[in-house]
Structures are given as C-alpha cells and as structure tokens.
Amino acid sequence: MSRVTVFTLGGTISARGGDAARMTGREVLTALGAPEDVVLRDFRRVPSSTLTHADLADLAAEVRATVAAGSGVVVVQGTDTLEETAFLLDLLCTTERPIAVTGAMRRPDLPGADGPANLAAALAVATDPACRNLGVLVVLADEIHAARHARKTHTTSVATFASPGAGPLGTVVEGEPRILLRPATPATHRPLALDPEIRVALVTLSLGDRGELLEAVDHRFQGLVVAAFGAGHVPAPLVEPLAGIAARVPVVLASRTGGGTTLSHTYRGPGSEHDLLSRGLVPAGPLDPAKARILLHALLSDGAAGPTGYDRPRITAAFARLNGTRTAA
Ligand code: ASP
C-alpha cells in the first residue's frame, strides 16, 4: 500500500468559482499538485457545514482500516467544521501513525490560494515518523496543531487555526515537520465510538437568558453541553432546570469565551461553577463547547449511557484527563 491515502470531503479547497458543484477528489489532487503515488479516496464533495455524524462515523471506520493496512492518512475538508472532524478522529482512531487534517481558506481560483501549500505540509506530516504518537493533527499555514486544541479563529485569514491556551505542537519548515511539543496524554486510551443516532445538544447562554432553549432541548437529547459565561457561570434561575436535566442525562459545563478552562471552586454563589458542579454538571475543562459536545457524544456512543442513567464518573474522568490535572484518570 502507498505510504499515504488522501480522503477528500469537499470544502473551499474544491470550490472553484464558488459554485455549489465541487471538484472531484482527482481534480482537487491535480489542482494541488499532489504526488502521483498518493492513494485517493474521493469520500464526499460537500461544504463542511453539511457533513453529518453518519458521514464522520463512515470516515472514521475507513480511516481506521486504512491506518491498520499500513498507510498514513490525510483528510482534506472545509475549514468550517475541520476542528470537529479532527477531534472526532482523535477519539475514534487512536493510532501511533500520524493522521493529518487540512483544508484551505482561499478558493483554488483566487490569488494566493493556500490549498497546495497546506496539502504539501499535511502530506509531509502524515509520512514523517517524528509526527507519530501525537494524535490527530490539524495542519494549515505551516503550523501543526493537536486536534484537541485547534480552533478556527478567523473567518477569512489563512492563519485562522490556533490552539488557544496551548499553542501549536510544531511547524513545517522547508517542507519538513519540526515538532517542538508533545501532548502530555493521548486524548483517549482506547478508541471510542460514534453512534449517529445519539443526539447531544449545545446551548450557548446569553445575557438575560431565561432558559427557554433549555426547556426546548429537555427530553429531546441524550446529552447537553452548556456554553456558559466566563469560567462556567449561568444566571441563578437556570440552576434548577440544569440540575433537573443533569439528573436524567449528562450535562457538560463549558465556557463560551473561546480560551481557558472552566473553574471548579473560585466562585460559590448561585449559578457559579461550584454550585453547578455540586448539582451534577460535568466540567468541560479546557475543551471548547463544540469539542465538549464531540467527546460527550463519543462517550455516550461507547456505553457511558444506558436505560438506567449514565456513567457520570466515567464521563467526568474522560473530561478530566484532557485537563492536565494530577488527579485525572
Ligand atoms: N469554508 C467552507 C467549508 O468549510 C466553504 C465551503 O462552503 O466549501 O466547507
């Protein structure tokens, strides 16, 4: 088998002229000047906002099989949801072999299109032994980010991906990956699963929130992530409704700020992080709300939920191990 298989999913890198019709995987690889010997898997041709959990479950299964057969993997998709795909693959495809996820911010027909440079860098990462055992990597603008930290932070900049609170693991210089940092722990010790039928809601709170959206999601989802204020704060009247939901399904407390970790005991009044955690919410730690939703979904798919409730200690431990704390399982 070739040393690297490229999965193309669509996205800006395939959006010549901005048309709804996307280039084929072969056209994308040709336009990007990919080497002849890469294996192409023309997987989907969609804007990344259209990808579904079923698509990603299929992708993870194929990526796992490809890696097991001895090939490196590059996934090329739109940047809008790239960080979610990358983190999901990180949880579902634990492998020492590098898996690189990349895309482009500029269409292939625009001046300064970044697709060719990003694909070249991703191929370099996917085939470099120095990039083993780092989990799934997001590679754009010559930077190498751990999937768990990477975020799209700008609507148009080619340097849109950043790892708030952590920084990139390395860079690609003169075509060669240079790894400067390694994650302290894998995202998970064993591969998790993704059941596309499981539904996890994400509710972002805003000033003056009276909890109507919480009412709307209650009883309709198997899990909930709350993107709360600051380090994990909600309006006091929302504590009872949240505690009520947490008695039935897992509720993860994340921050809507975009950087930093949730706290546990700095504030203790009604609606504080201490109050919410004592009522059964699970702290997301440094995971942003979208990634917290991915982890919760994978845990629920992997047996952390059952007819009699959910395995709160296991869910709490899974989040804690990404928090860099000494007590994490
Ligand atoms: N940035 C978009 C994406 O993530 C662009 C598109 O519609 O292709 O796919």
Q: Is the CB of residue 127 below 6 angstroms from any atom belonging to ligand 1?
A: no
Architecture of the domain whose range is 4-179: 3-Layer(aba) Sandwich (3.40)
Give the Cα separation of 24 and 243 in Å (integer).
Answer: 48
168 lines ligand 1 (CB under 6 A): no
The structure tokens 């697709």 sit at 115
Any atom of ligand 1 within 6 Å of the Cβ of 14: no
Burial class for 247, CB neighbours closer than 10 Å (0-12, 13-18, 19+): exposed
Environment class of 107 (CB within 10 Å of its CB; exposed 0-12, middle 13-18, buried 19+): middle
Residue with tokens 């998709």: 77
Q: State the pLDDT at residue 293.
A: 98
The reply to whether domains 4-179 and 200-320 share a CATH topology is yes
Q: Which CATH number fits domain 200-320: 3.30.70.100, 3.40.50.40, 3.40.250.10, 3.40.50.2020?
A: 3.40.50.40
Domain assignments of the chain as residue spans, ordered by start? 4-179, 200-320
Tell me what percent of the chain is helix, strand and coil, each rounded to the nearest 5.
35, 20, 45
CB 15 near ligand 1, within 6 Å: yes
Contact status, residue 256 vs residue 202, Cβ threshold 8 Å = no
Which pLDDT does position 307 carry in this prediction?
Answer: 72
Evaluated on CA atoms 263, 266, 270, 274, the torsion sign reads positive
Which residues, including other chains, have CB under 8 Å from residue 183's CB and lie 6 or more apart?
134, 135, 146, 148, 169
Helix (H) or strand (E) holding 228: strand 223-228
- Cα distance between residue 71 and residue 257, in whole Å: 38
Note down pLDDT in tens along the chain; length 329 residues.
Answer: 458 999 999 999 999 999 888 999 999 999 999 998 999 999 999 999 999 999 999 999 999 999 999 999 999 999 999 999 999 999 999 889 999 999 999 999 999 999 999 999 999 999 999 999 999 999 999 999 999 999 999 999 999 999 998 999 999 999 999 999 999 999 998 999 999 999 999 999 999 999 999 999 999 999 999 999 999 999 999 999 999 999 999 999 999 999 999 999 999 999 999 999 999 999 999 999 999 999 999 999 999 887 778 999 999 999 998 988 765 44
80 CA distance to ligand 1 centroid (A)? 6
- Ligand 1 neighbourhood includes 79 CB (under 6 angstroms): yes
Look at residue 79 in the predicted model and tell me its pLDDT: 98
Residue owning the nearest CA to atom 4 of ligand 1: 78
Distance between Cα 183 and ligand 1 center (Å): 29
Question: Exposed/middle/buried for 70, CB within 10 Å: 0-12, 13-18, 19+?
Answer: exposed
Q: Which residues of 191-214 are buried (b: 16+ CB within 10 A; e: fewer)?
A: ebbbbeebebbbbebeeebebeeb
**Cα(219)–Cα(5) distance, rounded to whole angstroms?**
42
- Say whether 257 is catalytic: no
C-alpha 50 to ligand 1 mean position (Å): 9
CB 327 within 8 A of CB 320: yes
**What's the pLDDT at 19?**
85
3 state DSSP class of 185: coil
CA distance 211 to 217: 10
In 3D space, the residue among 42, 51, 33, 7 whose CA is nearest the CA of residue 108 turns out to be 33
**Nearest-CA residue for atom 5 of ligand 1:** 12
Q: Which residue spans within 126-188 are E strands per DSSP?
A: 136-140, 143-146, 151-152, 161-162, 170-173, 176-179
Residue nearest to atom 8 of ligand 1 (CA): 11
